[in-house]
Amino acid sequence: MKFNTHIQNLPIYEAGKPIELVVREFGINPKNIIKLASNENPLGTSKSVIKTLQKVAKNASLYPDDSFYELKDALANLYSVKSENIVIGSGSDQIIEFALHAKTSDKNAILVSGTTFAMYEIYAKHTGAKVYKTQSKEHDLNEFRKTYNEHKNEIKVIFLCIPNNPLGDCLDASEVMKFISEVDKDTLVIIDGAYMEFAKFKDKKKAINPKDLISKFPNALYLGTFSKAYGLGGMRVGYGVGNSELITALHKLRAPFNITTLSLAAAIAAIKDKDFIKKTLKNNLKEMKVYEKFATKNGIKFIPSYTNFITFIFDETKNATQISDNLLKKGIILRNLKSYGLNAIRITIGKPEQNKRVLGELKKEI
Protein backbone atom coordinates (compact mmCIF):
# COMPACT_ATOMS: atom_id res chain seq x y z
CA MET A 1 0.00 0.00 0.00
CA LYS A 2 1.18 3.51 -0.78
CA PHE A 3 1.40 6.09 2.00
CA ASN A 4 1.80 9.86 1.95
CA THR A 5 5.36 10.50 0.83
CA HIS A 6 6.55 12.48 3.85
CA ILE A 7 5.69 9.48 6.10
CA GLN A 8 8.39 7.31 4.50
CA ASN A 9 11.37 9.09 6.00
CA LEU A 10 9.95 10.15 9.34
CA PRO A 11 12.48 9.84 12.13
CA ILE A 12 11.23 7.94 15.18
CA TYR A 13 11.64 9.34 18.69
CA GLU A 14 13.83 7.22 20.87
CA ALA A 15 12.38 7.25 24.37
CA GLY A 16 14.30 6.50 27.55
CA LYS A 17 14.33 2.76 28.26
CA PRO A 18 11.51 1.73 30.63
CA ILE A 19 12.13 -0.28 33.80
CA GLU A 20 9.96 -3.10 32.38
CA LEU A 21 12.40 -3.59 29.51
CA VAL A 22 15.42 -3.87 31.79
CA VAL A 23 13.54 -6.38 33.90
CA ARG A 24 12.67 -8.41 30.78
CA GLU A 25 16.10 -8.19 29.12
CA PHE A 26 18.45 -8.57 32.06
CA GLY A 27 16.24 -10.27 34.64
CA ILE A 28 17.03 -7.61 37.24
CA ASN A 29 14.70 -7.22 40.22
CA PRO A 30 12.71 -3.97 39.66
CA LYS A 31 13.61 -2.89 43.20
CA ASN A 32 17.27 -2.75 42.24
CA ILE A 33 16.73 -0.64 39.16
CA ILE A 34 17.45 3.07 39.17
CA LYS A 35 15.91 4.94 36.26
CA LEU A 36 17.28 8.43 35.78
CA ALA A 37 16.74 8.48 32.02
CA SER A 38 13.51 10.34 31.33
CA ASN A 39 13.59 13.33 33.69
CA GLU A 40 10.74 11.96 35.73
CA ASN A 41 10.35 13.37 39.23
CA PRO A 42 12.64 11.32 41.52
CA LEU A 43 10.35 12.03 44.48
CA GLY A 44 7.64 10.18 42.55
CA THR A 45 4.02 11.23 42.73
CA SER A 46 2.85 13.54 45.50
CA LYS A 47 0.86 11.82 48.26
CA SER A 48 -2.14 14.04 47.71
CA VAL A 49 -2.19 13.13 44.02
CA ILE A 50 -1.98 9.41 44.82
CA LYS A 51 -4.90 9.80 47.20
CA THR A 52 -6.91 11.64 44.54
CA LEU A 53 -6.17 8.99 41.95
CA GLN A 54 -7.23 6.20 44.29
CA LYS A 55 -10.47 8.02 44.98
CA VAL A 56 -11.36 8.69 41.34
CA ALA A 57 -10.24 5.26 40.04
CA LYS A 58 -13.90 4.20 40.01
CA ASN A 59 -14.59 6.91 37.41
CA ALA A 60 -12.35 5.25 34.82
CA SER A 61 -15.46 4.31 32.84
CA LEU A 62 -16.56 7.94 32.45
CA TYR A 63 -15.24 10.29 29.80
CA PRO A 64 -13.70 13.46 31.28
CA ASP A 65 -15.45 16.83 31.22
CA ASP A 66 -14.14 17.67 27.76
CA SER A 67 -14.14 21.42 28.48
CA PHE A 68 -11.45 20.75 31.14
CA TYR A 69 -13.19 23.59 32.98
CA GLU A 70 -11.65 23.08 36.42
CA LEU A 71 -8.10 22.46 35.21
CA LYS A 72 -8.12 25.48 32.92
CA ASP A 73 -9.45 27.55 35.77
CA ALA A 74 -6.62 26.38 38.04
CA LEU A 75 -4.01 27.15 35.37
CA ALA A 76 -5.59 30.51 34.62
CA ASN A 77 -5.24 31.38 38.32
CA LEU A 78 -1.68 30.11 38.46
CA TYR A 79 -0.61 32.38 35.59
CA SER A 80 -3.09 35.26 36.05
CA VAL A 81 -4.56 34.73 32.59
CA LYS A 82 -8.02 33.72 31.39
CA SER A 83 -9.28 30.19 30.69
CA GLU A 84 -9.63 31.18 27.04
CA ASN A 85 -5.84 31.60 26.94
CA ILE A 86 -5.29 27.92 27.75
CA VAL A 87 -5.37 24.72 25.71
CA ILE A 88 -4.79 21.30 27.31
CA GLY A 89 -2.79 18.55 25.61
CA SER A 90 -1.78 14.96 26.16
CA GLY A 91 1.60 16.20 27.31
CA SER A 92 2.90 19.53 26.00
CA ASP A 93 4.04 17.36 23.05
CA GLN A 94 0.52 17.40 21.76
CA ILE A 95 0.37 21.20 21.81
CA ILE A 96 3.52 21.20 19.66
CA GLU A 97 1.65 18.90 17.27
CA PHE A 98 -1.43 21.18 17.19
CA ALA A 99 0.70 24.25 16.56
CA LEU A 100 2.59 22.67 13.68
CA HIS A 101 -0.55 21.28 12.07
CA ALA A 102 -2.03 24.78 12.31
CA LYS A 103 0.96 26.61 10.84
CA THR A 104 3.26 24.40 8.77
CA SER A 105 3.09 22.29 5.62
CA ASP A 106 5.40 21.12 2.84
CA LYS A 107 5.46 24.72 1.65
CA ASN A 108 7.26 26.17 4.68
CA ALA A 109 9.71 25.55 7.51
CA ILE A 110 10.53 25.70 11.20
CA LEU A 111 13.66 26.93 13.00
CA VAL A 112 15.17 25.15 16.02
CA SER A 113 18.43 25.05 17.94
CA GLY A 114 21.28 22.74 16.87
CA THR A 115 20.56 20.25 19.65
CA THR A 116 17.13 20.40 21.20
CA PHE A 117 14.00 18.34 21.93
CA ALA A 118 13.67 15.86 19.05
CA MET A 119 9.88 16.05 18.78
CA TYR A 120 9.95 19.57 17.23
CA GLU A 121 11.59 18.14 14.14
CA ILE A 122 9.49 14.95 14.08
CA TYR A 123 6.14 16.74 14.32
CA ALA A 124 7.26 19.31 11.74
CA LYS A 125 8.10 16.49 9.34
CA HIS A 126 4.62 15.00 9.92
CA THR A 127 3.35 18.10 8.13
CA GLY A 128 6.07 17.91 5.45
CA ALA A 129 7.78 21.11 6.67
CA LYS A 130 11.50 21.76 6.30
CA VAL A 131 13.64 22.07 9.45
CA TYR A 132 16.33 24.74 9.80
CA LYS A 133 18.78 24.30 12.68
CA THR A 134 21.26 26.74 14.15
CA GLN A 135 24.88 25.58 14.12
CA SER A 136 25.61 25.78 17.84
CA LYS A 137 24.17 23.03 19.96
CA GLU A 138 23.19 25.46 22.72
CA HIS A 139 20.66 28.22 21.98
CA ASP A 140 22.40 31.18 20.35
CA LEU A 141 19.93 33.95 19.51
CA ASN A 142 22.30 35.66 17.07
CA GLU A 143 22.36 32.48 15.02
CA PHE A 144 18.57 32.28 15.28
CA ARG A 145 18.40 35.89 13.98
CA LYS A 146 20.74 35.15 11.10
CA THR A 147 18.94 32.01 9.89
CA TYR A 148 15.53 33.57 10.42
CA ASN A 149 16.42 36.65 8.38
CA GLU A 150 17.82 34.50 5.57
CA HIS A 151 14.63 32.40 5.33
CA LYS A 152 12.01 34.77 6.71
CA ASN A 153 9.36 33.94 4.11
CA GLU A 154 9.71 30.24 4.73
CA ILE A 155 9.99 29.99 8.51
CA LYS A 156 6.54 29.91 10.12
CA VAL A 157 7.41 28.51 13.56
CA ILE A 158 10.45 29.06 15.81
CA PHE A 159 11.04 26.84 18.84
CA LEU A 160 12.92 28.12 21.87
CA CYS A 161 13.38 25.43 24.50
CA ILE A 162 13.84 27.42 27.72
CA PRO A 163 15.65 25.75 29.40
CA ASN A 164 16.91 23.44 26.69
CA ASN A 165 16.45 19.67 26.70
CA PRO A 166 18.75 17.64 26.40
CA LEU A 167 21.59 20.10 27.15
CA GLY A 168 20.31 22.11 30.11
CA ASP A 169 21.35 25.57 28.82
CA CYS A 170 18.95 28.46 29.38
CA LEU A 171 18.59 31.93 27.85
CA ASP A 172 17.67 34.92 30.02
CA ALA A 173 14.01 35.94 29.82
CA SER A 174 14.96 39.47 28.72
CA GLU A 175 16.93 38.15 25.73
CA VAL A 176 13.99 35.94 24.74
CA MET A 177 11.52 38.81 24.92
CA LYS A 178 13.79 41.03 22.83
CA PHE A 179 14.17 38.31 20.20
CA ILE A 180 10.42 37.78 19.86
CA SER A 181 9.90 41.53 19.41
CA GLU A 182 12.10 41.36 16.29
CA VAL A 183 10.20 38.47 14.70
CA ASP A 184 7.47 38.95 12.10
CA LYS A 185 3.96 38.85 13.59
CA ASP A 186 2.95 35.94 11.36
CA THR A 187 5.76 33.75 12.70
CA LEU A 188 4.74 31.71 15.72
CA VAL A 189 7.38 31.61 18.47
CA ILE A 190 6.93 28.66 20.81
CA ILE A 191 8.58 28.92 24.23
CA ASP A 192 8.80 25.39 25.57
CA GLY A 193 8.88 25.81 29.34
CA ALA A 194 8.75 22.10 30.23
CA TYR A 195 11.61 22.65 32.71
CA MET A 196 10.88 26.30 33.55
CA GLU A 197 9.99 25.56 37.19
CA PHE A 198 13.59 24.39 37.77
CA ALA A 199 15.16 27.29 35.85
CA LYS A 200 13.36 30.07 37.66
CA PHE A 201 13.98 28.45 41.05
CA LYS A 202 17.72 28.53 40.31
CA ASP A 203 17.84 32.00 38.76
CA LYS A 204 15.08 34.61 38.57
CA LYS A 205 16.56 36.05 35.38
CA LYS A 206 15.37 32.93 33.56
CA ALA A 207 11.72 33.34 34.58
CA ILE A 208 9.47 33.85 31.58
CA ASN A 209 6.07 35.09 32.68
CA PRO A 210 3.41 33.67 30.33
CA LYS A 211 1.07 36.60 31.05
CA ASP A 212 3.67 39.18 29.98
CA LEU A 213 4.65 37.06 27.03
CA ILE A 214 1.18 36.65 25.56
CA SER A 215 0.01 40.18 26.30
CA LYS A 216 3.01 41.59 24.43
CA PHE A 217 3.14 39.02 21.63
CA PRO A 218 0.02 37.57 19.97
CA ASN A 219 2.39 35.30 18.04
CA ALA A 220 3.94 33.69 21.13
CA LEU A 221 2.86 30.38 22.67
CA TYR A 222 4.10 29.24 26.08
CA LEU A 223 4.17 25.50 26.80
CA GLY A 224 4.09 23.95 30.25
CA THR A 225 3.84 20.38 31.49
CA PHE A 226 2.83 18.33 34.52
CA SER A 227 5.39 15.67 33.60
CA LYS A 228 8.45 17.12 35.32
CA ALA A 229 8.28 19.28 38.48
CA TYR A 230 4.67 18.20 39.12
CA GLY A 231 5.58 14.51 39.05
CA LEU A 232 2.98 13.33 36.54
CA GLY A 233 5.08 12.03 33.64
CA GLY A 234 2.87 8.98 33.32
CA MET A 235 -0.40 10.91 33.19
CA ARG A 236 0.27 12.90 29.99
CA VAL A 237 -0.92 16.40 30.76
CA GLY A 238 0.56 19.54 29.26
CA TYR A 239 -0.78 22.94 28.28
CA GLY A 240 -0.31 25.90 26.02
CA VAL A 241 -0.81 29.53 27.05
CA GLY A 242 -1.44 32.05 24.31
CA ASN A 243 -3.52 34.84 22.90
CA SER A 244 -7.17 33.72 22.61
CA GLU A 245 -7.20 33.83 18.79
CA LEU A 246 -4.23 31.47 18.67
CA ILE A 247 -5.71 29.18 21.34
CA THR A 248 -9.02 29.01 19.43
CA ALA A 249 -7.15 27.82 16.32
CA LEU A 250 -5.30 25.15 18.31
CA HIS A 251 -8.56 23.97 19.88
CA LYS A 252 -9.85 23.14 16.42
CA LEU A 253 -7.15 20.50 16.12
CA ARG A 254 -7.72 19.00 19.55
CA ALA A 255 -9.45 15.62 19.57
CA PRO A 256 -12.25 15.25 22.12
CA PHE A 257 -11.20 13.71 25.45
CA ASN A 258 -7.49 14.11 24.71
CA ILE A 259 -6.53 13.56 28.35
CA THR A 260 -7.89 10.87 30.65
CA THR A 261 -10.41 11.33 33.46
CA LEU A 262 -7.75 10.32 35.97
CA SER A 263 -5.13 12.63 34.43
CA LEU A 264 -7.50 15.56 34.77
CA ALA A 265 -8.08 14.86 38.47
CA ALA A 266 -4.35 14.29 39.05
CA ALA A 267 -3.32 17.58 37.41
CA ILE A 268 -5.86 19.58 39.43
CA ALA A 269 -4.60 17.97 42.64
CA ALA A 270 -0.94 18.49 41.64
CA ILE A 271 -1.36 22.25 41.21
CA LYS A 272 -2.63 22.49 44.78
CA ASP A 273 0.30 20.63 46.34
CA LYS A 274 2.78 23.50 46.56
CA ASP A 275 4.88 21.72 49.22
CA PHE A 276 5.63 18.84 46.90
CA ILE A 277 6.89 21.21 44.20
CA LYS A 278 9.05 23.05 46.70
CA LYS A 279 10.59 19.79 47.93
CA THR A 280 11.20 18.74 44.34
CA LEU A 281 12.95 21.97 43.43
CA LYS A 282 15.09 22.00 46.58
CA ASN A 283 16.24 18.40 46.16
CA ASN A 284 17.09 19.12 42.53
CA LEU A 285 19.22 22.19 43.20
CA LYS A 286 21.08 20.54 46.07
CA GLU A 287 21.78 17.27 44.27
CA MET A 288 22.71 19.00 41.01
CA LYS A 289 25.79 20.27 42.85
CA VAL A 290 26.81 16.70 43.67
CA TYR A 291 26.90 15.91 39.95
CA GLU A 292 28.73 19.13 39.07
CA LYS A 293 31.36 18.38 41.70
CA PHE A 294 31.79 14.84 40.38
CA ALA A 295 32.17 16.09 36.81
CA THR A 296 34.70 18.75 37.72
CA LYS A 297 36.73 16.32 39.80
CA ASN A 298 36.75 13.73 37.01
CA GLY A 299 37.38 16.08 34.11
CA ILE A 300 33.99 15.55 32.49
CA LYS A 301 32.57 18.43 30.48
CA PHE A 302 29.06 19.64 31.31
CA ILE A 303 26.90 22.65 30.56
CA PRO A 304 25.52 24.37 33.70
CA SER A 305 21.97 23.03 33.81
CA TYR A 306 18.77 24.89 34.61
CA THR A 307 16.67 21.71 34.49
CA ASN A 308 16.25 18.50 36.52
CA PHE A 309 19.01 16.74 34.60
CA ILE A 310 22.68 17.17 33.81
CA THR A 311 24.39 16.17 30.57
CA PHE A 312 27.90 14.78 30.81
CA ILE A 313 29.76 15.30 27.54
CA PHE A 314 32.65 12.90 27.05
CA ASP A 315 35.85 13.40 25.09
CA GLU A 316 36.96 10.89 22.45
CA THR A 317 38.73 8.69 25.03
CA LYS A 318 35.35 7.63 26.36
CA ASN A 319 32.32 6.07 24.69
CA ALA A 320 28.92 7.14 26.02
CA THR A 321 27.15 4.19 24.43
CA GLN A 322 29.46 1.69 26.03
CA ILE A 323 29.25 3.40 29.40
CA SER A 324 25.45 3.54 29.38
CA ASP A 325 25.19 -0.05 28.15
CA ASN A 326 27.44 -1.25 30.98
CA LEU A 327 25.42 0.67 33.55
CA LEU A 328 22.19 -0.72 32.09
CA LYS A 329 23.34 -4.26 32.84
CA LYS A 330 23.74 -3.18 36.46
CA GLY A 331 20.17 -1.85 36.49
CA ILE A 332 21.06 1.82 36.08
CA ILE A 333 19.11 3.45 33.26
CA LEU A 334 20.56 6.74 32.00
CA ARG A 335 19.95 8.44 28.67
CA ASN A 336 22.60 7.87 26.01
CA LEU A 337 22.43 10.91 23.69
CA LYS A 338 23.78 9.11 20.63
CA SER A 339 20.49 9.69 18.79
CA TYR A 340 21.18 13.43 19.25
CA GLY A 341 24.59 12.98 17.65
CA LEU A 342 26.43 13.44 20.94
CA ASN A 343 28.98 11.38 22.83
CA ALA A 344 27.14 12.26 26.02
CA ILE A 345 24.90 10.89 28.73
CA ARG A 346 21.95 12.76 30.20
CA ILE A 347 21.27 11.98 33.83
CA THR A 348 18.11 12.98 35.67
CA ILE A 349 18.96 14.36 39.11
CA GLY A 350 17.72 11.68 41.51
CA LYS A 351 17.36 11.32 45.23
CA PRO A 352 20.61 11.45 47.28
CA GLU A 353 20.90 7.67 47.62
CA GLN A 354 20.23 7.12 43.91
CA ASN A 355 22.78 9.72 42.89
CA LYS A 356 25.37 8.17 45.16
CA ARG A 357 24.93 4.73 43.59
CA VAL A 358 24.86 6.13 40.03
CA LEU A 359 28.05 8.15 40.51
CA GLY A 360 29.74 5.24 42.27
CA GLU A 361 29.05 2.95 39.32
CA LEU A 362 29.83 5.65 36.76
CA LYS A 363 33.21 6.23 38.42
CA LYS A 364 34.12 2.60 37.65
CA GLU A 365 33.31 3.08 33.97
CA ILE A 366 35.31 6.23 33.22
Which residues between 313 and 352 bind a copy of itself (CB under 8 A)?
Answer: none
In the complex with a copy of itself, which residue's Cβ is closer, 10 or 366? 10
Question: Which of these, 75, 110, 105, 111, lies nearest to 92 by C-alpha position?
Answer: 75
Peptide bond into 166 cis (omega under 30): yes
Does 54 help bind a copy of itself (rule: CB under 8 A)?
yes
15 binds a copy of itself (CB under 8 A): yes
Q: How far is the CB of 125 from a copy of itself (least distance, A)?
A: 10
Give the C-alpha separation, 312 to 129, whole Å. 32
Closest among 364, 357, 365 to 36, alpha carbons compared: 357
DSSP 63: P
List of residues 6+ apart from 124 with CB closer than 8 A = 100, 104, 109, 110, 130, 131, 157
- Find, among 364, 365, 352, 188, the residue nearest to 279 by Cα: 352
**Binders of a copy of itself among 124-143, rule CB under 8 A?**
126
Residue 1 binds a copy of itself (CB under 8 A): yes
Instruction: Indicate if the alpha-carbon torsion angle 34, 37, 40, 42 is positive or negative.
Output: positive
Q: Taking Cα atoms as reference points, which of 223, 221, 79 lies closest to residue 163?
A: 223
Considering the rule CB under 8 A, would residue 24 count as an interface residue with a copy of itself? yes
d(CA 318, CA 50): 42
The one among 112, 155, 259, 323 contacting a copy of itself by CB under 8 A: 259
Q: Which is nearer to a copy of itself, 200 or 254 (CB)?
A: 254
Which stretch, 3-11, 295-303, 322-330, 335-343, contacts a copy of itself (CB under 8 A)?
3-11
Residue in 75, 87, 235, 334 binding a copy of itself, rule: CB under 8 A: 235
Spell out, one character per residue from 151 to 190, where the chain touches a copy of itself: x when CB under 8 A holds, - when not.
----------------------------------xx-x--
> Taking contact as CB under 8 A, which single stretch among the options 47-55, 142-150, 167-175, 336-344 is the one that binds a copy of itself?
47-55
Span of 57-65, 283-291, 313-321, 353-361 interacting with a copy of itself by CB under 8 A: 57-65
Give CA–CA dist 280/228, Å, rounded: 10
Q: Which helix or strand (DSSP H or E) is residue 112 part of? A: strand 109-112
E strand or H helix that includes residue 347? strand 344-348
Tell me the closest approach of the beta carbon of residue 215 to a copy of itself, in angstroms.
15
Q: Which residue of 12, 27, 153, 274 would you call a contact of a copy of itself, by CB under 8 A?
A: 12
Nearest approach, Cβ of residue 205 and a copy of itself (Å): 29
Is 94 or 134 the residue whose CB approaches a copy of itself more closely?
94
From the list 25, 65, 150, 275, which residue makes contact with a copy of itself (rule: CB under 8 A)?
A: 65
102 or 303: CB nearest a copy of itself:
102
Binding to a copy of itself, residues 206-225 (CB under 8 A): 218-219
Of 76, 177, 207, 262, the residue at the interface with a copy of itself (CB under 8 A) is 262
* Contact by Cβ (8 Å): 238, 49: no
Applying CB under 8 A, does 7 fall inside the site for a copy of itself? yes
Q: Scan residues 81-110 and list those touching a copy of itself (CB under 8 A).
A: 90-91, 93-94, 97, 101-105
- Closest distance between a copy of itself and the C-beta of residue 257, in Å? 6
DSSP conformation class of 228: S
